[in-house]
Structure 1
Amino acid sequence: MPPPGLSRLNTADDEAARSALHEACASRAWGDRILAGRPYATTDALCAASDAAMAELTADDLAEAVAGHPPIGRPKPGDPTSHREQSGMAGASAALKAELLELNLAYQDKFGHTFLICASGRTGEQMRDALRHRIDNTPEQEREIVRVELGKINRIRLTRIAEHAEGDAG
């Protein structure tokens, strides 16, 4: 029997399911592919479908997905997911936050979008170091790294959706 959240996702009407999936990833194309694959027997099957959908996203689809993510060090106010995923920044010094802001702006100037990394379990210093390293990539290299990082984020978020009972803050 699928976990409670997965059962809900499988049986929800398209609008409700699309809304839940949008919480995981802002790409409409990705969401449409996940919706088309319902029902999913397991969380692993849902995550495998997510991986397959990620591999098919165009550059525009990826840009749409990235646009749904706040910059590192500046989680969305009132968004518990954003705060939870960026918890490694909670104890960051003012100097580290300022450096990340400066690096984020330079990255955005170069690539035209927010720096995206799967922040779960990473410290502020680790995220800064990754940003320092990745800013030297070509746009093509960076697009594929973003695809991988977004896939990791989607898996974490989908697992959370699938495995939590209704009303569970998760």
Structure 2
Amino acid sequence: MSDALSTAAAHLDGLPEAEVEAALTRCCGASRWVAAMLARRPFGDGPRLLDAAEQAWAALERADILEAFDHHPRIGANLDALRDKFRATANWSASEQSTVAAADEATLVRLRDGNLAYEARFGYIFIVCATGKSAAQMLTLLEQRLTHDPAQELAIAAAEQAKITRLRLEKLAP
């Protein structure tokens, strides 16, 4: 268990509910997940925070999972937007996906096209825990996942969202 999760738990326990709600929404945009987390306060420590997050996530239905996905920025509207998205910024998504900033133009084009194809096929954006992955690695994952059946892919994307949520919970530590 990371020290960051324990620090985050203590931080969340000390905040007013409205601030906790806003912080949790930054971690995962599914409103039922946020409500379940608020109901589990106080967290006390990192293991209890993580356990609460995992239990709340496991209880979600398809619509809730898709709501969480909708809180991620869309990739693929155009190449300029894709280039801008992956420049270093202060937001978490940018830092999580920072390795794409070094991508060559051909890789960016394939990422854009792959993201558009993914959304057309599955009806939601491509979700991947991008931390530590290069643009080429993410492109490979995207292209592989385009071959999945919809139920299999939703389960994979949901597992990726859960990883992202955990990383974001750790970032709540002051």
Normalising by structure 1, report the TM-score. Answer: 0.88
One of 46, 57, 62 as aligned partner of 1:59? 62
* C-alpha distance in structure 2 between counterparts of 1:100 and 1:24, whole Å: 24
* C-alpha distance in structure 1 between counterparts of 2:162 and 2:47, whole Å: 13
* C-alpha distance in structure 2 between counterparts of 1:47 and 1:31, whole Å: 13
Q: Which residue of 1 aligns with 2:79?
A: none
- Asked if the contact 1:72–1:86 (Cα under 8 Å) also holds between the matched residues in 2, the reply is no
The one-letter code sitting in structure 2 at the alignment partner of 1:23 is R
* RMSD, aligned α-carbons: 1.9
Does 1:45 find its partner at 2:56? no
The one-letter code sitting in structure 2 at the alignment partner of 1:47 is L
Q: Which residue of 2 aligns with 1:157?
A: 168
Does 1:122 find its partner at 2:133? yes
- Asked if the contact 1:26–1:64 (Cα under 8 Å) also holds between the matched residues in 2, the reply is yes
- CA deviation after TM superposition for structure 1 residue 3, in Å: 4.7
Identical-pair percentage: 33
SS at match of 2:72: coil
Does 1:34 find its partner at 2:37? yes
* C-alpha distance in structure 1 between counterparts of 2:65 and 2:151, whole Å: 12
Query: Where do 1:51-130 residues align within 5 Å?
Result: 51-71=54-74, 74=82, 75=85, 79-130=90-141
* C-alpha distance in structure 2 between counterparts of 1:79 and 1:27, whole Å: 22
- CA deviation after TM superposition for structure 1 residue 58, in Å: 0.5
Number of residue pairs aligned between Structure 1 and Structure 2: 162
- Asked if the contact 2:33–2:56 (Cα under 8 Å) also holds between the matched residues in 1, the reply is yes
**CA deviation map 1:132-159 (0-9, x unaligned):** 0111111111111111101100110001
> Can you give the 5+ residue segments of structure 2 that lack an aligned partner in the other structure?
77-81
- CA deviation after TM superposition for structure 1 residue 48, in Å: 1.8
Bigger relative contact order, structure 1 or 2 (CA pairs below 8 A, ≥6 apart):
1
